[in-house]
Each structure stands twice: as C-alpha cells, then as structure tokens.
Amino acid sequence: WYSWSAQIKVVWDRMLPYISEKTKSVITGKECVLLATAGDIYESAFNGVLESFDRSTSLLGLNVAGKVCAYNVYDIGDIEQNDWLNRAKELGVAVGGQIKES
C-alpha cells in the first residue's frame, strides 16, 4: 500500500491549522492539483495516494483542479517516454494561465 512520502506528509500536517475555527488565514475554496510519479508499472500504485489526497482536500475545503499521476517513471528520462510532462503543463496552464517557455 502506497501513500505519501515522509517529506510531503509534513506539508499535509502543516495544513491542519487552516481548518481550525481560530485560523487567521483561510485556504478553503482555493484550487490545488496533484502531480505524482511512481516507478511502478501499474496505475493502481496511486490508489492509496489518491484516496488520501481526495480525503485531505475535502477536509481542507480545497477545490481539486486536476491530477496527473505518472506511472512507470523510475529512471532518469522515463517521464519523457509518455505525455506526462505535457499533461502537467496543460494542467498548469488551465489553473494558472500561460506558461512562459525558457
């Protein structure tokens, strides 16, 4: 069963104060996206992450603008063997506007 790495779990934990009635800053209603990679060859490797993400964003009152779950990405360059980067770029444009090429 796969879920969040220790590094991103800390980020989620730091969001919990935003659901308090005493919070001074509100994230409810803001848009969010999920960009995730896995070396596993099966898309189902994301089932645990997706369930956790959906529950967490619901609890925080966030609007999910989209998700890109890139599987079979293990070695350097693997992500370029599919259209994962294009999907992520399209999602970024849909959420934040035009992306400047560098």
- Establish if 86 belongs to a structural domain: yes
- Establish if 32 belongs to a structural domain: yes
CB neighbour list of residue 29: distance below 8 Å, 6 or more residues apart: 61, 62, 63
- Establish if 52 belongs to a structural domain: yes
Instruction: Give the other-Cβ count within 10 Å of 54's Cβ.
Output: 13
Share of the chain above pLDDT 70, in %: 93
User: Is the predicted pLDDT of residue 97 greater than 80, yes or no?
Assistant: no
Instruction: Give the other-Cβ count within 10 Å of 62's Cβ.
Output: 19
Cross-strand bridge partners of residue 67: 34
- Establish if 15 belongs to a structural domain: no
What's the pLDDT band for 101 if we cut at 50, 70, 90? low
Stretch 18-35: mean pLDDT, rounded? Answer: 86
CA dihedral defined by 53, 33, 57, 39, rounded to 10 degrees? Answer: 10
pLDDT for position 99: 64
- Establish if 40 belongs to a structural domain: yes
Number of domains the chain is built from: 1
CA–CA separation, 13 and 24 (whole Å): 17
- Check if the beta carbon of residue 66 is closer than 8 Å to that of residue 91: yes
- Check if the beta carbon of residue 58 is closer than 8 Å to that of residue 90: no
Query: Per residue in 37-56, pLDDT tens?
Result: 999 999 999 999 999 999 99
- Establish if 55 belongs to a structural domain: yes
- Establish if 1 belongs to a structural domain: no
Stretch 26-47: mean pLDDT, rounded? Answer: 92
Q: Which domain holds residue 56?
A: 27-96
- Establish if 22 belongs to a structural domain: no
pTM over 0.75: yes
